[in-house]
Amino acid sequence: MEQTKKSQTHLLTEAELISIVTSARKYSQAVKSSAEKINDYLRKIEHEIDQDVGSLSIIEESGELAIEEAGKIDKYTKKQKQCLERITQQSQPR
Domain residue limits at 89:
35-94
Task: Determine, yes or no, domain membership for 22.
Answer: no
Amino acid identity, residue 54? G
Count how many Cα atoms sit within 13 Å of the Cα of residue 56 in the half-sphere of its side chain: 0
Query: pLDDT tens for residues 48-88?
Result: 888 877 788 899 999 999 999 999 999 999 999 999 998 88
**Do 37 and 69 contact (CB within 8 A), yes or no?**
yes
Task: Determine, yes or no, domain membership for 14.
Answer: no
CA 76 to chain centroid, in Å, comes to: 3
Q: What is the pTM of this model?
A: 0.72
Task: Determine, yes or no, domain membership for 54.
Answer: yes
45, 80, 42: which is closest to 59 by C-alpha? 45
Task: Determine, yes or no, domain membership for 73.
Answer: yes
